[in-house]
Amino acid sequence: MTEVKPDAVDAIAEQWRRERPDLDLEAMAIVGRLGRLMVVAQQAIEAVFVAHGLQRGEFDVLAALRRSGEPFQLNPSVLADTLMLSRAGMTGRLDRLESAGLVRRIADAADRRAVRVALTDEGRQLVDTVVTEHTRNETRILSVLSAQDRKDLDRIARRLLASLEGDD
């Protein structure tokens, strides 16, 4: 097993131990590390999107359309709900992606008053390239962990997330 070096969270916990020895700081340290981990990981993750001229939210739209399957079209409100985004926020993202030629708005065949958002060929090629790099990047980020560590981390994260989301 690899020796664990003290980190910035240890320094903060030590300051609290000195000032408030009555506190149990185990949870603070774990949650602090999880928060720091997300900040650092997010920077590495977003670098892939930026390298392809995308913001994270724009990638999320393209990815939602791509994983929806043929014909890679969704209603804007379904996209907004899927991405937990306001309708106005979705409109802004769609405007940028449409200007870039990555999506197009088309009339809904079932309801001419409605619009669907479709990936263009260029959008599909881009999202396929980016999602390939994205998954490789996330694999690289987790490569310091053994296969068993990754399984354990996934199990623990699922349990914690379910409890926080009220899915117990």
> pLDDT tens-digit profile of 15-55?
999 999 999 999 999 999 999 999 999 999 999 999 999 99
Query: Which residue, among 70, 82, 68, 75, has the nearest Cα to 108 in the 3D structure?
Result: 75
Q: pLDDT confidence of 168, banded at 50, 70, 90?
A: low
> Which of 44-53, 105-114, 120-129, 134-143 is predicted with the least confidence, judged by mean pLDDT?
105-114
Same domain, 41 and 60: no
**Number of domains making up the chain:** 2
Residue 116 resides in a domain = yes
Q: What is the pLDDT of residue 118?
A: 96
Same domain, 110 and 61: yes
Same domain, 98 and 39: no
Residue 133 resides in a domain = no
pTM for this one? 0.85
What is the spatial distance between Cα 168 and Cα 161, in angstroms, rounded to a whole number?
9
Residue 108 resides in a domain = yes
Same domain, 42 and 62: no
Same domain, 67 and 102: yes
Give the CATH number of the domain where residue 113 resides: 1.10.10.10
- By DSSP bridging, strand 73-74 and strand 103-107 are unpaired
What is the spatial distance between Cα 47 and Cα 133, in angstroms, rounded to a whole number?
11
Residue 98 resides in a domain = yes
Range of the domain at 33: 7-52
Distances (CA, A) of 57 to 7, 49, 61: 31, 10, 6
